[in-house]
Chains A and B, each alone.
Chain A
Amino acid sequence: MSEVGTEVKILVIDEQEVSAHAGQTILEVARENDIHIPTLCYLEGLSNVGACRLCLVEIKGSSKLTPACVTTVQEGMEVSTNSERLTRHRRTILELLFAERNHICSVCVANGHCELQSLGQELGLTHVRLPYRNPDLPVDASHERFTADHNRCILCTRCVRVCAEIEGAHVWDVMGRGVNCTIITDLHEEWGKSTCTRCGKCVQVCPTGALFDKSKIGSEHPKYPDFLPFLNMMREAQ
């Protein structure tokens, strides 16, 4: 969450004049005004990493694309969130994600409740032009309540951040580099034998079916990540 000042800024997002507090991000202001910007790594209540690159927007006067989740508003800024150029890049980024690991929606526990899937539908992705990489990735079912299926992980690091920032356990992190990055628990040990507190927050914030609740297999598996802002608010109040 950005530090919100008292000063008011007026800017334009998609030809709509909006007002914002100094210090708010473009994404926050857009959401307040029901302007939809696609996101994957962003989650209200967690720190922003600007890694998925889906929330990139165009700002008049700059040829560079800017991530809406980490860019604070400026007076008189003119933001465009859904140009043809942006849609093209967003589709390619989604294609890259679909081709990177093994995403097979029809047999996924998150089918119908997956943020990657719904973004694909929203952006009209009908096929993937890129060669599928088909990596050979493990499934960790050692935990008594949850399972980690690395085939479905998009490395958004929401689990890493929620575990470190909210739960305070920092059981998850990322190992390796580049396409070989993998989320791990402790020293790359089985989740079931790790120092996991079993709070389940990582499962709730996971945007895909990579982390899921074993008891929900075969049934609807919606996730409820909305507890985060509330949790943050209650902690600040104390």
Chain B
Amino acid sequence: MPVFTLPPLPSEDNRWKIVNGTMRKNGYARHALIEALHTVQSSFGCLDDDAIRFVAQSLRVPLSQAYGVATFYHYFTLKPPGKHTITICAGTACYIKGSDKLIAAAERKLGIKQGQTTADGEISLMIARCVGACSRAPVMLCDGELSGQMSAEQVQAQLERWAVE
């Protein structure tokens, strides 16, 4: 077996050390790919080519395979998110309670489609496939904080609060 040398960290950024830590903890085993990508996303907000390449090379996973994994799971995003993220749940309970109206209201207000970020990089509009708070349907997450029994007006009010900031 040829000796395997780890690739250098992509930059001085300390967050790469956190990513490297996750991989080290897993013995740089190939099966740590998803765990490592989770760490990248929680540290950097998204997975870009440099990050996927670094993780793939560190774990000796073929590049195409790593990219295939990164694009298979909807939790991972390749694009940087906006400063704020509003996530509207489109699970069954929320759908029955009219989450489509919330989504339409947000899309109208922001002038973007679900899954997109406003041109100024301020707000991302995401759709979740059930966050498990169905009893409070319809729900939205504002920067991770959950609010239940939302109306289209409340969604717009929240977006306005962010716009004023």
Inter-chain CA distance A173–B33, complex, in Å, is 15
In the bound complex, residues from chain A placing their C-beta under 8 Å from that of B65 are: 170, 173
Contact of A177 among B53, B64, B66, B72 (CB under 8 A): B72
Q: Mark B68-110, 1 if CB is under 8 A from A, else 0.
A: 1001101000000000000000000000000000000000000
Interface of B is mostly: helix
Inter-chain CA distance A187–B48, complex, in Å, is 10
Inter-chain CA distance A215–B52, complex, in Å, is 35
Which partner residue on chain A sits nearest B56 by CB separation?
Answer: A187
Is A108 interfacial (CB 8 A cutoff)? no
Is B128 interfacial (CB 8 A cutoff)? no
Residues of A in contact, count (CB < 8 Å): 16
In the bound complex, residues from chain B placing their C-beta under 8 Å from that of A172 are: 64
**Chain B, interface residues (CB within 8 Å), range:** 10 to 19
Determine if A170 and B64 form an interchain contact, defined as CB atoms under 8 angstroms apart: yes
Determine if A188 and B67 form an interchain contact, defined as CB atoms under 8 angstroms apart: yes
Inter-chain CA distance A164–B66, complex, in Å, is 14
Contact residues of B with A, CB < 8 Å?
49, 52-53, 62-68, 71-72, 74
Instruction: Beyond the given A175-B72, A176-B72, please list 19 additional residue pairs across the A-B interface where CB-CB is below 8 A.
Output: A164-B62, A170-B64, A171-B64, A172-B64, A173-B67, A173-B68, A174-B68, A175-B64, A175-B71, A176-B71, A177-B72, A184-B67, A184-B68, A186-B64, A186-B67, A187-B49, A187-B53, A187-B66, A195-B63
Contact residues of A with B, CB < 8 Å?
164, 169-177, 184-188, 195
